[in-house]
Amino acid sequence: MKRIAHRLFNDFLMPSRLDELERVLLIALFEGYQVLSICHFLGLAREGSLDVRSRYLILRHDIDTDVATAKEIWQLERRHGICASFFFRLQTADIALMKEIHAGGGEVGYHFEEIATVAKRKGLKRTSNLDHLRNDAGELFCENLIALRKKSGLPLRGIASHGDFVNRRLGIINFELLTPGIRQLMDIDYEAYDAELEDRLSSRFSDLMYPKFWKPANPVAAIKSGDQVVKLLIHPRQWQSNSLVNAKDNAIRIYEGFRYWAA
């Protein structure tokens, strides 16, 4: 019951916490961090331009829901000269905002979930034929990414795997559809959990639902202690309550869950 109460507060009653996000970013800037998108950081790494005397904060946004708050976050960061990575799902792909972020120097990528999509369509309850699932999901991924690139006119060469209840049920993450062939065919520059990035991190943090807010802890301590490479993963939903958007998303989750378990 406590978890349900927390979820209801988070989704419908929580006041905006965007000032807290701004405070974290301002502390990072004050402490001398370069706040970068993933593609910018990897570009420096590949050029051999990372400076051991410098501090880097890699800022990633997964737009699972709530495009309106994502736009507020983008505008907040833009005021401070920050250009981060924003990953959009098909259902949150706001083309105007994506183009605005790209034109403003930010990075726009695809937040993909095709293994979960195929599993839900087929009503798969166990992973008896993983190769077939991966193949179908890989084909759908290519179709979706091609269509989104055409619609947006953006390169979308950075991608990030989304998580779903079906992934947890089957024990397979969406990342697993990315064969070397698909990466090459679709000109994928990186996936956000690639070792090329993860192995360079000193610490990583993700926002959480009320009341904890951060996993594994508030990043300010790591920033003030001077961790060289800090990564922050931010989701708009955790920073203010957009009641209509959250109600719609919760209804979709319930409906998809019902269909899945009834199949």
**What is the rounded distance in angstroms from the CA atom of residue 170 to the CA atom of residue 116?**
9
Point out which residues pair with 240 in neighbouring strands.
none
What's domain 2-262's architecture?
A: Alpha-Beta Barrel (3.20)
Determine the pLDDT at residue 7.
Answer: 93
DSSP letters for 219-248: THHHHHHT-SEEEEEE-GGGTS--HHHHHH
Structural domain spans, the chain: 2-262
Residue 125 pLDDT class (50, 70, 90 cuts): confident
Q: Is pLDDT of 50 > 80?
A: yes
- More confident: 82 or 127: 82
Tokens 């922050």 sit on residue: 232
State phi, psi for 258 to the nearest 5 degrees: -65, -45
Residues in the chain, total: 263
Q: Is pLDDT of 114 > 80?
A: yes
For 61-112, the pLDDT digits (tens) are 999 999 999 999 999 999 999 999 999 999 999 999 999 999 999 999 999 9
Which residues contact residue 263 at a Cβ distance below 8 angstroms, ignoring those fewer than 6 apart?
123
Residue 129 pLDDT class (50, 70, 90 cuts): confident
Give the angle subtended at the CA of 168 by the CAs of 177 and 148, to the nearest 5°: 40
Q: Is pLDDT of 128 > 90?
A: no
Q: Is pLDDT of 263 > 80?
A: no
3-class SS of residue 138: helix
Task: Say what percent of the chain tops pLDDT 90.
Answer: 92
For 156-215, the pLDDT digits (tens) are 999 999 999 999 999 999 999 999 999 999 999 999 999 999 999 999 999 999 999 999
